[in-house]
Amino acid sequence: MELHRALIQGGFTSMRLMRQRAAFDLQVAKRWDTDLDFANYPQRFRLDQMVCAVPHVLGNQDARAAMSGARDALARAEELLVAGEHEMIVMNVHAALGMRVVNHVHSSAMGLLNGFHALRAGGVRRHEPEEAAEEVLIDGLNLGRGMSYKNAAAQIPFGGCKMTVQCAEFPLDDDARLGFLASCIDAGHFFTGPDMGFQPELADVLRARFTRNIVGGPNGSMGPTGAPTALGTFLALERCARAHWGSSDLEGKRALVQGLGAVGLPLAQMMKRRGMRLLVADTDEARVRTAREVLGDVEVVPVQQVIGTACEVLAPCAVGGVFGEEEIARLNCEILCGAANNQLRAVSKAGELALAESVAARSITYPPEWMHNIAGVVAGYEEYRNQDDASAERIRPHLERVCGDGITSLLAEAKREGRTPTALAYGAVESRIA
């Protein structure tokens, strides 16, 4: 039986499975009465005022007995928490609203003593109700771990987590579901932003009436994150140029930008302003047309020819998984620096490290993108910290420190030690997470 079913059958609403040194701490609880109207959260009741006529909390052995019908699912969750070195999962289930909310907490170490309500940061993603619970759990755990790395790379004082919500799509005037989701977010001690399955407007609606622990809405004070992400990548590119050619002068160098979307287009504009010669590629003709209008004189490269085309700088800003061994052997650039996530086609850290070695063996300067495409979380932190007074200008010094100076140090150390920037970057963020 799945975990949420066992909870509902036992008359519970919530479960926390926490990894301890040599064992697990399991708690199941009934935290609210079924007639509590979450549309009234937080105006009529707050998290610390949720009334439950017969509160019911069980720990460890009693909790395990209560969840005995889901023994296999519990064992699998424990196995996954150990494998990914996660701290805990916290599940809240509202049967009548058809919502299962799970916070997958990877690490809180970086958030300790940060002075905020939130100890962690990570997005909130919706999954369809019929998706297999185990797959959703694996997705949430992987994304939660990824957030620890991202936050460490971005040097923001928060651990990593990810919230998944299994429920049917609901409109943004469904106050009961919005209130329930907001209460789960507040209880999770993290700040979040809408991820796949939710529209960005969710953040604006939740912020207006339910919780301020969500950021990144279209009407938010920071606006879209494409342009700051492009800026972070451009700062990294300048530092790559200095490390590779001894100067950050980009005048006359050829840059091939793959993908002309929210990040690729502003990045191309920055390159153009610095006198680079532009080559562009996008699967969407309309994006290419817009790029031509905005950028003027550009050479359009067919998308299938991006890999072998001669250029000094290749900037992947489209899909991930672009570079396997075969593509790396055909690269015809000197610097590989773009914003796309997961550029190397690897499914594990070991695979990523091996591909990074192959890139380095071709004398191509490549800082792992996850060390500089971090402006989204930095912008989220700025909005969370300064709320309506947040400003895009204020994050610039942070981006210069992380994407500029951070990349300079990383490349210098890689050269000194004869190791890849990717290997060193892993060492640096893992020490912060631990």
Q: Which of 263, 279, 307, 344 binds ligand NAI (CB under 6 A)?
A: 263
In the complex, what is the shortest distance from the CB of residue 246 to ligand NAI, in angstroms, rounded to a whole number?
29
Question: Which residues in the 241-260 window bind ligand NAI by CB under 6 A?
Answer: 258-260
- CA nearest 398: which of 216, 158, 154? 154
- CA nearest 196: which of 254, 126, 97? 126
Is 151 a binding residue for ligand NAI by CB under 6 A? The answer is no
Distances (CA, A) of 176 to 46, 98, 179, 243, 382: 14, 11, 5, 55, 29
Nearer residue to ligand NAI within complex by CB, 251 or 293: 293
Nearer residue to ligand NAI within complex by CB, 400 or 413: 400
Is 66 a binding residue for ligand NAI by CB under 6 A? The answer is no
One-letter amino acid of 399: L
Compose the 293-332 pattern: x for residues touching ligand NAI by CB under 6 A, - for all others: ----------x-------------xxxx------------
Under rule CB under 6 A, how many of the chain's residues touch ligand NAI? Answer: 25
Q: Which of 107, 151, 213, 229 binds ligand NAI (CB under 6 A)?
A: 229
Is 262 a binding residue for ligand NAI by CB under 6 A? The answer is yes
- CA nearest 153: which of 329, 403, 382, 385? 403
In the complex, what is the shortest distance from the CB of residue 13 to ligand NAI, in angstroms, rounded to a whole number?
35
Is 281 a binding residue for ligand NAI by CB under 6 A? The answer is yes
On the 0-12 / 13-18 / 19+ scale of CB atoms within 10 A, 429 is buried
Which helix or strand (DSSP H or E) is residue 354 part of? Answer: helix 349-361
In the complex, what is the shortest distance from the CB of residue 366 to ligand NAI, in angstroms, rounded to a whole number?
16
- CA nearest 3: which of 126, 196, 132, 125? 132
Nearer residue to ligand NAI within complex by CB, 107 or 258: 258
Tokens 């889901």 belong to which residue? Answer: 70
Contact 343, 314 (CB under 8 A): no
Q: Which of 193, 216, 226, 380 binds ligand NAI (CB under 6 A)?
A: 226
Provide the 3-class DSSP secondary structure of residue 300: strand
Residue nearest to ligand NAI (CB): 261
Q: Which residues bind ligand NAI (CB under 6 A)?
A: 225-226, 229, 258-264, 281-284, 287, 303, 317-320, 339-341, 373, 376
